[in-house]
Amino acid sequence: MNCREARRCLSPYLDSELDADTTFAISEHLRVCAPCRLRFEGEIHVDKLIVTGLSIGEMPDAMWRRMIQPLRRSQRAPWRAYAPLAAAAVIALVAWAGWRTIRVAPRPHWAVKEFLAETNGGQPFAPTEAVSVPAGMSMPLKPFADLVVNLAGEEALKHVVQFVRLDTVRDADGSEMVEVRLNCCGEPVIVRAAKRDRPGRLREFLGSDEARLAALPTPGKVVVAEREIGEYVVVAVSRHPVTHLLAAMQVQ
């Protein structure tokens, strides 16, 4: 198993959703591959952030006193009064059990979870991996050679961009997707692009508006932006505003 295959399975591996053979293969890969092991530790860190969102409520003393006071006043009541007292006790216990509710923080969207894991909670990609992109440069997103990032626009020139890596991956249904990793003004950004007729995991973003994107579970001040350009759908994830970066993308 190579690094790309292992990293795409880290989330289901952490949640014990894989078959035995795949689980063993990933375990062996993590044992010998330090970069993938570091990314997996990032996945664990994200899950711990979710756990900290759990809280248990306590019943206020005033409410408890209101429920128990009638029982204390009726301690000398005849035996016929025991039935309603027992019912009152049951109601009190049910109310107490219902009060102790657990509020679970929503799990981050898969795109946000992968972003936080790969960037160790939102840290910029290592400078040794990054290459500065000159202002005015056009960068094709091969194999989608007609989809380019054109950094010649006025708004795009306000951003300092460092290119890190471009990968071509295939989803489970065989659809092709380009993944671009870069730093923009010192913040990490992951951009994914696919064709609209075969969007793979990006299908859920088709037709998204700002309100729908803003409603996604995104801890750590992470934002998700989407733009449909010609026959492509493009999704960017970062803690840095990426509207200008997406606006700089065009079909030639």
Query: Residue 103 has what pLDDT?
Result: 46
Domain boundaries, the chain: 1-54, 56-102, 107-251
Query: Residue 135 has what pLDDT?
Result: 59
Distance of alpha carbon 84 from alpha carbon 71, whole angstroms: 10
* Strand boundaries in the chain, DSSP class E: 55-56, 102-103, 131-132, 138-141, 144-150, 161-170, 176-184, 187-195, 223-229, 232-238, 249-251
Query: Residue 234 has what pLDDT?
Result: 92
Strands 138-141 and 55-56: unpaired
What H or E segment, with its residue span, contains residue 202? none
pLDDT per residue, tens digit, the chain (252 aa), is 888 888 888 888 877 777 777 887 888 888 888 888 888 888 777 766 665 554 444 555 665 566 556 555 555 545 445 555 555 555 555 555 554 444 445 677 888 888 888 888 888 888 666 666 665 567 778 888 778 777 666 656 677 788 888 888 888 778 899 998 888 888 899 999 999 999 988 988 988 887 888 777 777 788 898 989 889 999 999 988 888 778 877 787
Backbone angles phi, psi at 26, to 5 degrees: -70, -40
Query: Residue 79 has what pLDDT?
Result: 44
